[in-house]
Amino acid sequence: MPLAVIQLVSQDQVQVNLDRARALLEQAAEAGARLVVLPENFAAMGRRDLADLGRAEAAGSGPVLPWLQQAARELGLWIVAGTLPLPPDGQPSGKALACCLLIDDQGQRVARYDKLHLFDVDVADGRGSYRESDDYAPGARLVVADTPVGRLGLTVCYDLRFPELYAALRDAGAELISVPSAFTALTGAAHWQVLVRARAIETQCYLLAANQGGLHPGGRETFGHSAIVDPWGRLLAEQAQGEALLLAPRDAAEQAAIRQRMPVHQHRRFSVSSALRSSAPE
């Protein structure tokens, strides 16, 4: 059962994006995949009414959530649904969060992860400045869920720069970690591949890194180079630019052997939580 990662070049037309994603999901199902990761903002890029779209989805009147549920059921796939701008559960009028949903092969929501780290950064590209906090609130908890291909930790894009989150996911039993992303072309060229491989090596997890890869409305350019990386840091599959489906197997026995031969998890002298406790005043 191969793992699958989808790279898109999402535009501002939701239905067009969903149609392109559906075609690649069908290819993944035909190849025997059980778990597929879609990139960040898979349903829309470059729109200023994302919060309105998210409220419509939460109210049950949007197209994306029904589409996800139907695709998962019809294709027999577990889908990591990139990100959607959804309000907090039970608070339809709340500020949107960059929400990553895990949908099982019956079309049911198994887990929700709200992006913890918001991309408020100045970048020397054509856009110059990114302020996700203008549109989104940050999440508040890490999420790990059981899937047919292993225990999966959920992260999103800018989270990749925070190794303590990934260490916490490993502590919680993660064997695979998904990273739906929309890395800018400039920051991606500098750091994307190094960060993806580093997080895989540190956690001894498979990294399923689904990036946007091309030109989007408003002049935004994303880096692409979606990848599947194994727990030894080996690049199993990669796509530079454009739409693509990436496939690679998970070797659970080899992963267990890597963790046994190099037990870095057991060798750690401190964790973030223990370090904070030890520095607290008595």
Residue at 193 is within a domain: yes
Residue at 7 is within a domain: yes
**CATH code assigned at 244:** 3.60.110.10
Residue at 256 is within a domain: yes
Question: Number of folded domains in the chain?
Answer: 1
Q: H or E segment at 241?
A: none
Residue 247 forms beta bridges with which residues?
A: 4
- Per-residue model confidence (pLDDT) at position 261: 97
If one counts every other C-beta atom within 10 angstroms of the C-beta of residue 98, the result is 30
If one counts every other C-beta atom within 10 angstroms of the C-beta of residue 239, the result is 19
Mean pLDDT of 45-68: 89
pLDDT digits (tens, 9 = 90+) for 148-200: 999 999 999 999 999 999 999 999 999 999 999 999 999 999 999 999 999 99
Asked if pLDDT for residue 75 goes beyond 60, the answer is yes
Residue at 226 is within a domain: yes
Distance CA 154, CA 272 (A): 19
- Per-residue model confidence (pLDDT) at position 281: 47
CA distances from 24 to 28, 75, 128, 137 (A): 6, 11, 32, 31
Which pair of structure tokens corresponds to residue 132?
């996700």
Residue at 282 is within a domain: no
Asked if pLDDT for residue 280 goes beyond 70, the answer is no
Q: What are phi and psi of 38, to 5 degrees?
A: -95, 155
Contacting residues for 249 by C-beta, under 8 A, at least 6 apart: 1, 2, 3
Residue at 249 is within a domain: yes
Residue at 33 is within a domain: yes
Residue 129 forms beta bridges with which residues?
A: 122
Domain that residue 110 falls in? 2-277
The secondary structure of the chain in percent helix, strand, coil, rounded to multiples of 5, reads: 35, 30, 35
Beta strands in the chain (DSSP E): 2-7, 35-38, 78-86, 97-103, 109-114, 120-122, 129-131, 144-147, 150-154, 176-178, 206-209, 226-229, 235-239, 244-249
Distance CA 156, CA 148 (A): 21
pLDDT digits (tens, 9 = 90+) for 246-279: 999 999 999 999 999 999 998 988 775 554 444 4
Active site residues: 40, 115, 157
